[in-house]
A and B are shown apart, each in its own frame.
Chain A
Amino acid sequence: MSEEPDLEALRREVREWIPKNVPANWRERQAGDNIEGFLECQREWLAKLVEAGYATPHWEHEWPGGGRSLPEQVVIFEEMARGDAPRMSLFFVSLYHAAMTLQECGSQAQKEKYLPGILRGDVWVQGFSEPGAGSDLASLKTRAVLDGDHYVVNGQKIWSTLGHFADHCLLLVRTDPDAKKQAGITFLLMDMKTPGIDVRPIKQITGDEEFAEMFLDNVRIPVANRVGEENKGWGVAQVTLSSERGLTLVELVERLYGSLWRLLEAATKGGFAAEALDVEDRRRIVDITARVEALRAMVGEAMVRKAAGNEQLGDASILKLAYARILRDFCELGMKLEGIGSQRFENFVLGAGYETSNWMFDFMNSYQWNIAGGSNEIQRNIVSERMLELPRG
Chain B
Amino acid sequence: MMDIETIDPEELRDAAARMLGDMVERRAPYDPGKSADRAGLYGAMVEQGWLLLTVPAEMDGLGQSFVALAPIYEELGKAISPVVLAPSLAALELLAFNPGDALTELAAGIAGGEARVAVADQGSVSVAGGTLSGALTGVLADESATHLLLLGADGQAWIADLSAASVIAQDSWDRSRILHDIVLDGVAAQAALAAPDQAATGRVRAHCDLAIAWDNAGGHARILDETLDYLRTRKQFDRAIGSFQALKHRAADHKVDLEVARGAARNATRAFAAGAADAVTVAAQARLVTETAYRAMAEDAVQLHGGIGFTWEHDCHLFLKRAILNELLYGRAGERRDRIAPAVLAKMAQGRA
A294, B267: Cβ atoms closer than 8 Å? yes
A260 interface residue (CB < 8 Å to B):
yes
Q: Mark B236-275, 1 if CB is under 8 A from A, else 0.
A: 0001101111001101110110011111101100100000
Q: Which residue of A lies closest to B264 (CB)?
A: A294
Tell me the bound Cα distance from A260 to B245 in angstroms: 35
Q: With a CB–CB cut-off of 8 A, which chain A residues contact B342?
A: 274
B260 and A289: CB pair below 8 A?
no
Answer whether residue A264 sits at the interface, using C-beta atoms and an 8 A cutoff.
Answer: yes
B249 x A297 contact (CB < 8 A): no
Give CA–CA (A1, B350) in the complex, Å.
Answer: 18
CB within 8 Å of B: which of A209-262? 257-261
A364 within 8 A of B: no
Contact B255 A264, beta carbon cutoff 8 Å: no
Q: Mark B61-89, 1 if CB is under 8 A from A, else 0.
A: 00000000000000000000000000000
B344 contacts A285, CB within 8 Å?
A: yes
Chain B binding surface SS class? helix
- Does B141 have its Cβ within 8 Å of any Cβ on chain A? no
**Quick check: A297 and B266 within 8 Å, CB to CB?**
yes
Expressed in whole angstroms, the Cα–Cα distance for A318 and B259 within the complex equals 8
Query: Which single member of A261, A279, A290, A296 contacts B349 (CB below 8 Å)?
Result: A261
Is A385 an interface residue when CB atoms closer than 8 A count as contact? Answer: yes
Whether A287 sits at the interface, judged by CB under 8 Å, is yes
Q: A interface, by DSSP: helix, strand, loop or mixed?
A: helix
- Tell yes or no: A391 within 8 A of B by CB: yes
**A-B pairs with CB below 8 Å: how many?**
142
A residues less than 8 Å from B266 (CB atoms):
297, 301
Which A352-393 residues sit within 8 Å CB-CB of chain B?
377, 379-381, 383-385, 387-393
Which of B9-17, B94-102, B285-293, B295-303 faces chain A?
B285-293
CB-defined contacts of B249 to chain A, threshold 8 Å: 377, 380-381, 384
* Contact indicator per residue, chain A 111-135, by CB within 8 Å of chain B (1) or not (0): 0000000000000000000000000
Q: Is B2 an interface residue (CB 8 A)?
A: no
Q: Is A162 in contact with chain B by the CB < 8 A criterion?
A: no
Contact between A282 and B285, CB atoms less than 8 A apart:
no
CB pair B232–A283 under 8 Å, yes or no, is no
Complex alpha-carbon distance, A295 and B289, angstroms:
11
In the bound complex, CA of A291 to CA of B263 (Å) = 9
A286 with B349, Cβ < 8 A, contacts A274-B342, A390-B251 known: no
Contact partners of A391 in chain B: CB under 8 A: 232, 239-240, 242-243
Of chain A, the residue at the smallest CB distance from B266 is A297
Which of B123-131, B158-166, B167-175, B333-341 is the contact stretch?
Answer: B333-341
- Docked complex Cα distance between A274 and B350 (Å): 12
CB < 8 Å: which of B252, B259, B285, B346 contacts A274?
B346
Of residues 14 through 64 on chain A, the ones whose CB sits less than 8 Å from some CB of chain B are: none
Does B351 touch A at the CB level, under 8 Å? yes
- Contact among A1, A263, A282, A294 with B286 in the assembled complex (CB-CB below 8 Å): A294
Task: Write 12 A-B pairs (CB below 8 A) sorted by A numbering.
Answer: A258-B351, A274-B345, A283-B334, A286-B285, A296-B267, A297-B266, A325-B256, A381-B252, A387-B255, A391-B243, A393-B244, A393-B248
Q: A261-B350, A390-B242 are in contact. List 17 more A-B contacts (CB 8 A).
A: A264-B345, A264-B352, A274-B345, A286-B340, A287-B292, A290-B289, A294-B264, A298-B263, A301-B263, A301-B266, A318-B255, A321-B256, A385-B248, A388-B248, A389-B228, A390-B248, A391-B240
